[in-house]
């Protein structure tokens, strides 16, 4: 079995316009001092990456890797969550997602921009030597997640056909560059659970570059079996966000949350160790599935400060990393040589 690497951290939620959180070197140095070994880069934030240069210049990427290596850090992935979300946008969400792309883009122009951004992330990832581009899928059907009013026949199939049409050339380009696209299955996008991922795989002919960034917190809030998910989809898991959550329904709110703020929802993201995710089993199942990528902290919590969450997160991940064994615990008992003749005698066949 292979071993998961870590601890690493996704920088997006920690970036602020004040030191040490306002530049790559300062925020990376801060995390290195906490014991992190890897950083996952938001591929839309110029404070951490010049995407155009990274896509065009291997030299820029070599220098980038060297700057982080001097701090004892590696680049785990370059992410395209915002770009992926706006690759496919239903008009109902156009204005709310406008902050994810340059001002004034809409319709085909927005789609073309998002596609170009993801192509740049693929090229930059190839230059960096990182294996995948974590994204959100975007989508057209999320507003119909609850089947009331009754959905027109064929409308979900049409939504997934169009989603596949937009992603297929990007999956092809990723495969050509030795990179995968890891979809984080996330509410608000059309790929949000195992069933929707399977529907997408069917539309893209089980494309080998269509993989998963596994985040158990989103599954716990949906009340999906996040452990069984690993058993089903382990071969497709190429990324891992270590994020905790809790689900505490009441007589007032359940899965849908009642339009309440995060603090008052039944399902809330929490700092590592403060929620209900069984990370002992998560790390075990991912290790058994052969996942050898990075365990990346994605900090989101309605209660605890990001600084405390970051400090505790490094130790939490380190404690859950598994050093896989190449010996059997009962070797001392001497199972024998495996000689066919001996085995047949033991079975009473000789």
Cα gap 96→172, rounded to integer Å: 30
pLDDT number for residue 338: 80
Please classify residue 8 by burial: count the beta carbons closer than 10 Å to its beta carbon, then call 0-12 exposed, 13-18 middle and 19+ buried: buried
pLDDT number for residue 350: 81
Contact criterion met (CB below 8 Å) for 210 and 200: yes
Please classify residue 69 by burial: count the beta carbons closer than 10 Å to its beta carbon, then call 0-12 exposed, 13-18 middle and 19+ buried: exposed
pLDDT number for residue 275: 98
- The one-digit pLDDT tens for each residue of the chain (350 residues) are 569 999 999 999 999 999 999 999 999 999 999 999 999 999 999 999 999 999 999 999 999 999 999 999 999 999 999 999 999 999 999 999 999 999 999 999 999 999 999 999 999 999 999 999 999 999 999 999 999 999 999 999 999 999 999 999 999 999 999 999 999 999 999 999 999 999 999 999 999 999 999 999 999 999 999 999 999 999 999 999 999 999 999 999 999 999 999 999 999 999 999 999 999 999 999 999 999 999 999 999 989 999 999 999 999 999 999 998 888 777 777 777 788 988 888 899 98
Cα gap 256→259, rounded to integer Å: 8
Cα gap 245→163, rounded to integer Å: 29
Smallest CA-to-CA distance from 306 within 5, 3, 11 is with 11
- Domains of the chain (ranges; CATH) run 5-346 (3.20.20.150)
pLDDT number for residue 1: 57
pLDDT number for residue 184: 98
């Amino acid at each position: 079995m292979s071993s998961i690497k870590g601890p690493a951290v996704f920088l997006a939620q920690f970036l602020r316009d004040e030191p040490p959180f306002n530049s790559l070197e300062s925020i990376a140095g801060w995390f290195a001092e906490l014991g992190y070994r890897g950083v996952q880069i938001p591929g839309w934030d110029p404070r951490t990456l010049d995407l155009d240069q990274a896509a065009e210049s291997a030299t820029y990427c070599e220098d980038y890797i060297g700057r982080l290596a001097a701090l004892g850090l590696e680049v785990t992935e370059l992410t395209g969550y915002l770009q992926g979300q706006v690759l496919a946008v239903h008009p109902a969400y156009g204005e709310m997602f406008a902050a994810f792309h340059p001002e004034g883009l809409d319709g085909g122009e927005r789609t073309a921009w998002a596609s170009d951004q993801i192509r740049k992330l693929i090229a930059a990832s190839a230059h960096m030597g990182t294996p995948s581009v974590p994204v959100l899928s975007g989508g057209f059907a999320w507003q119909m997640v609850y089947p009331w009013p009754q959905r027109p026949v064929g409308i979900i199939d049409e939504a997934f056909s169009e989603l596949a049409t937009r992603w297929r050339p990007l999956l092809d380009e990723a495969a050509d560059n030795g990179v995968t696209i890891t979809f984080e299955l996330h509410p608000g996008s059309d790929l949000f659970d195992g069933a929707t991922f399977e529907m997408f795989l069917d539309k893209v002919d089980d494309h080998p570059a269509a993989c998963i960034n596994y985040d158990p917190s989103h599954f716990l809030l949906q009340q999906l079996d996040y452990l069984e998910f690993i058993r089903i989809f382990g071969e497709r898991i190429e990324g891992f966000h270590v994020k905790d959550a809790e689900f505490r329904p009441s007589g007032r709110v359940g899965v849908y949350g009642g339009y309440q703020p995060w603090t008052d929802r039944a399902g809330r993201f929490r700092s590592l160790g403060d929620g209900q995710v069984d990370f002992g089993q998560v790390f075990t199942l991912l290790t058994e599935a052969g996942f050898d990528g990075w365990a990346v902290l994605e900090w989101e919590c309605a209660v605890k400060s990001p600084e405390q969450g970051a400090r505790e997160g490094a130790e939490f991940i380190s404690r859950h990393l598994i050093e896989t064994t190449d010996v059997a615990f009962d070797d001392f008992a001497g199972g024998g040589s495996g000689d066919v003749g001996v085995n047949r005698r033991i079975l009473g066949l000789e």
